[in-house]
Amino acid sequence: MIVTPLLKQGVNIVGVSEVYDHFGNMNKLRQWIERLYWQVCKKQESPYLSLFAQKNNIAYAEKKRGDNDEYMAWLRELNPDVLVLHQAPILIPDIFSIPRFGTLNIHPSLLPKYRGSNPYFWMYYDLDMTAGITLHYIDENIDTGDIVGQGGYSIELGTPASAVGKVLVNNYAIPLLIKAIQTLESTGKLKTIPQPVDSPTPYAKRLTVEAYYEALDFENWELEHLWHVLNSNDQWRDVFLAKIENSGSYNWTIKGIERREVNMPYGEIEEDSGGYHIKHKQGVIYLNRVFSMRKFFTSLFKLDF
């Protein structure tokens, strides 16, 4: 959550919202399991935004898709100076124009590259090894608003996008955002750079499970390329773990690669003495699994994640 470091820096957060209240929409048993898991097993605060808001006495709203009128009324009542988006859906102009100083978005690419909702996958797909983040104003188009600031760094092959995202947010986005808020407080205006109309990369669209699998090349790519792309998001789980019985009781991660002779067909998941692996023409990509009591109980009681 970006709200925690902002609050620690003294930013006056008057309200927070998300598309779906993950904790509030759980039944009582699931909520109990979640509280127990984070307090006893993880020994840290849960990541649920609604609980964070409740604890810190901050207004909270669930912004359901298409529910614009109620959300606009809630936002107008808060009367915020600026609205900050992170991993948020597209907003209509009537919403993003409410704040006095406009609406800022944190986008995980060096815009104008990889505009869209799936930048990590396509960045990894293209073997673009420069990860970056952009703080920009929202306008009527997608990820085309004026740039407030950017930051980035070179990543190693196979670095999980989740790890990259944490570095980008903590080391680049938060400092940029705090500086922007402080500037707005003192001057009421930010220096920005307009984006070019065209992007050097195609729109970073989301893929269906079928389209995702078809995008993976198990024969012509180098084994390391496939391993790298699988680390771009968690969609590989939808493709391969569905074929493994009781896979839902484990936490799964991409492990390492081993070059060796592999029998066809490629692109399948199998198990040997080394564990479950995904087959590629040049070798295999091993998966790591760790039993999760939390997932076991949610599966046992048929509780939705």
| One domain, residues 44 and 174 | yes
> Which residue do the tokens 């608003």 mark?
145
Angle separating helix axes 28-36 and 293-300, nearest 10 degrees: 170
- Average pLDDT on 122-151 reads 98
Write the CATH number for 30. Answer: 3.40.50.170
Exposed, middle or buried, 171 (CB in 10 Å: 0-12/13-18/19+)? middle
Residues 262 and 169 in one domain: no
Same domain, 12 and 94: yes
Judgement on whether residues 16 and 110 belong to the same structural domain of the protein = yes
132 and 18 in a common domain: yes
pLDDT in tens, 226-237: 999 999 999 999
Both 177 and 215 in one domain: the answer is no
- 199 part of a folded domain: no
The pLDDT tens digits of the residues spanning 50-75 come to 999 999 999 999 988 778 899 999 99
User: For residue 301, what pLDDT is reported?
Assistant: 59
Count the domains in the chain: 2
**In this structure, is residue 198 part of a structural domain?**
no
Instruction: Name the residue type at position 120.
Output: Y
Shared domain for 50 and 159, answered yes or no, is yes
Assigned token pair, 104: 């800022």
Q: What does the pLDDT read at residue 112?
A: 99
Instruction: Give the phi and the psi of residue 231 in degrees, each rounded to 5.
Output: -85, 0
* 163 and 263 both lie in a single domain: no
Using the 3D structure, point to which of 156, 187, 218 is the last residue of a domain.
187
Question: Environment class of residue 186 by beta-carbon count within 10 Å: exposed (0-12), middle (13-18) or buried (19+)?
Answer: exposed
The mean per-residue pLDDT over the stretch 161-187 comes to 97
Share of the chain above pLDDT 90, in %: 79
In a domain, 201, yes or no: no
Q: Is residue 140 domain-shared with residue 22, that is, in the same domain?
A: yes
Residue-range definition of the domain harbouring residue 85: 3-187
* Secondary structure class of 84 (helix, strand, coil): strand
Position 293 scores a pLDDT of: 74
Give the pLDDT band (50/70/90) at residue 38.
confident
The mean pLDDT value for 168-177 works out to: 98
pLDDT in tens, 245-289: 888 888 999 999 999 999 999 999 999 999 999 999 999 999 999
Instruction: Please report whether residue 203 resides in a domain.
Output: no
* Of 135, 291, 155, 295, the residue nearest 232 (C-alpha): 155
- Tens-digit pLDDT profile for residues 62-120: 988 778 899 999 999 999 999 999 999 899 999 999 999 999 999 999 999 999 999 99
The answer to whether residues 144 and 257 belong to one domain is: no
Q: Are residues 161 and 221 in the same domain?
A: no
Give me the pLDDT at residue 137, please: 98
- Cα separations (Å) of 292 from 82, 231, 250, 272, 299? 40, 21, 5, 22, 10
Q: What is the pLDDT of residue 302?
A: 57
d(CA 211, CA 285): 20
Is residue 230 located within the same domain as residue 140? no
Of residues 45 and 150, the one with the higher pLDDT is 150
What is the total residue count of the chain? 305
Whether 194 is covered by a domain: the verdict is no
- Give the pLDDT confidence score for residue 295 in this predicted structure: 76
Mind listing the pLDDT tens digit for each residue in 201-213?
999 999 999 999 9
Tell me which H or E stretch contains 252.
Answer: strand 250-259
Cα dihedral 168→174→177→179 (10° resolution) = -120
Domain end (from 119, 153, 187): 187
